[in-house]
Amino acid sequence: MEEMDSTRDGEEGDRFEKSRERKEESAAGKQRKPSSWSPCFYSRAGKEVFSYAGQKVTIQEGLDSYAGMIWPAALDLCHYLDTHRDRWNLVDKAVLEVGAGTGLVSIVAALLGGWVTATDLPEVLDNMRVNLSRNTRGRCRHTPQVAALTWGHDLEHTFPSSACRYDYVLAADVVYHHDFLDELLATMKHFCRPGTTLIWANKVRFESDLVFTENFHKSFQTSVLSEDGEVKIFMATSREGEDEELGVSDLEEKLNGDELPDVPREKESDELEAEGGGEESSERESGEEEESEKSSEPGEGGAKEDEAEEQTDKSSRDENVSEQKFVKQSWTPSVLCSTTKEVFSYVGENIVIYESLDSYGATLWPAALALSSFLETNSQTFGLQGKEVLELGSGTGLVAIVASLLGASVMATDLPEVLSNLQANVMRNTRGRCRHTPRIAALSWSHNLEHTFRSSACRYDYVLAADVVYQHDFLDELLATMKHFCRPGTTLIWANKVRLESDLVFTENFHKSFQTSVLSEDGEVKIFMATSREGD
């Protein structure tokens, strides 16, 4: 009977896979319009291959979604579970994963013998289900289940505590930049009943992480299982007596009444000693000394700048970091937050770009690299020397920096929330190197343009844009903004990597709005040139 069930599960999984592939082929056929500018690949999400529990695990990431990416804490938790099977035996245990995302942790738990239920928001379940089916069919004792779960919402109805009992609750990198941390804690409390072990892996990024972790410690009996760099893995169990007295309705009342206790900024010395905080405190002090030493190091290339420039650099860094409002606590890792740094070489200069956290505008995208290379290698054709240049959606500032190094007078624009990092990058890489000091300005596409950037006064020789078309709801506003700035005598150069159907629709409208041509095509990235249509 079990063999028949297993065969039936395998057949259903095969039918699901084939059905999904047919749908994808059908969708792709609709998306591949017979247009001269259509890309060879409509979209391509990342694919990662891992080895856990003696099996190869292939994870297909999703597009433009936190839940569609593989995060560092998930990798750490998978490795921990795989290498500590003697301590945490998941064979035939009921396991629930909260915020399963791509499904990697659930897959590993299933390969280790667990009876797994993977949960997340409804919109990410399709990709998760495919990953689970692809990597567990025919390999596991129990077929993993997939279920929708909205943290803190109607929990007693969808997962009644009388019926849904789990030996383990797993969570990895579920604490990040979102507004549902109270709901997440209430959800953890709902599932972590007496007899349940909660294992949570996390990389600290924001002050909200620290507040959540303090409330996590107050809500459960906790201990640290592992610490690997910036990632910690915590174990938690229910506090005796609390869970019998405090039901879900009480949790919701407590949540709605904002009764979560205030977080103390420092712990008393006896508490630190009891929790092993002495060692962590010394590590923190060592980390702060290292950061202090790093802040006194000379700038890029090893050359020392004068005192005024160092003050400006420090001001830019402080301004960028101050928005995060990090708070050091006894359990805080030595490096609280680490942003990605990339080094490029353009126009004979090393350009150091710092990415920021959890923002489209704070990440380096492929079209920005393609446009930067194009401007440098085609400087004779598109001479920016002494030209007025505006960049839309500057993000990290790489394109604006390259245009400045090529001699242009640049205005770099983006939304207010990303200007701090943008300004720091631009100033760091152009000070003392350019004929014209680049300027930074806030610009919300299509909003009050005639007031903030009057047509009569704001005339540009070039308007640049790179990877400004992605998953957002302001494509009409972007096109209107391009039209506002691309007046007669202006050349618009736009670089783009197509990902979604909306990219294709926008590109059609772009062609209809301007006189256009394709300047370059490198893989999935195309660079377009546009000028105003006469008489518009």
For the stretch 105-120, pLDDT in tens is: 999 999 999 999 999 9
Instruction: Return all residues near 27 (Cβ < 8 A) that are at least 6 apart.
Output: none
Res 454: pLDDT = 79
Closest CA to 136 of 164, 95, 177: 95
Res 535: pLDDT = 57
Give phi and psi for 104, each to the nearest 5.
-60, -50
Q: How many helices (H) and strands (E) does the chain have?
A: 18, 18
Tokens of residue 434, six digits: 């350019």
Q: Is the pTM of this model over 0.85?
A: no
**What CATH number labels 339-532?**
3.40.50.150
The span from the CA of 493 to the CA of 516, in Å, is: 10
Sheet holding 231-238, edge to edge: 145-148, 115-120, 94-98, 168-172, 197-203, 231-238, 220-228
Is 242 in a helix, a strand, or coil? helix
Give yes or no for a contact between 340 and 355, defined as CB atoms under 8 angstroms apart: yes
For the stretch 57-103, pLDDT in tens is: 998 877 545 666 788 899 999 999 999 999 999 999 999 999 999 99
Residues pairing with 464 in the sheet:
391, 493
Tokens of residue 299, six digits: 């700038």
Domain boundaries, the chain: 40-256, 339-532
Measured over all CA atoms, what is the biggest interatomic distance in the chain, rounded to whole angstroms? 80
Q: What b/e string do you get for 274-304 counting C-beta neighbours within 10 Å, with b at 16 or more? A: ebebeebbeebeebeeeeeeeeeeeeeeeee
Same fold, 40-256 and 339-532: yes
Res 249: pLDDT = 40
- Give residue for tokens 């390969």: 111
pLDDT in tens, the chain (536 residues): 444 444 445 555 555 555 555 544 444 444 333 333 333 333 345 678 889 989 999 988 775 456 667 888 999 999 999 999 999 999 999 999 999 999 999 999 999 999 999 999 888 888 899 999 999 999 998 999 999 999 998 898 889 888 888 999 999 999 876 678 999 999 999 999 999 999 999 988 888 888 999 999 999 999 999 998 889 999 999 986 554 434 334 433 444 443 333 333 333 334 433 444 444 444 444 444 444 444 444 344 444 444 444 454 444 444 443 333 333 333 323 333 344 678 889 999 999 888 765 455 567 788 999 999 999 999 999 999 999 999 999 999 999 999 999 999 999 999 888 888 898 899 999 999 999 999 999 998 988 888 888 777 788 999 999 999 876 678 999 999 999 999 999 999 999 988 888 888 999 999 999 999 999 998 889 999 999 986 55
Res 450: pLDDT = 80
**What CATH number labels 40-256?**
3.40.50.150
- Sign of the Cα torsion 505, 506, 512, 518 reads negative
The span from the CA of 121 to the CA of 174, in Å, is: 12
Res 413: pLDDT = 95
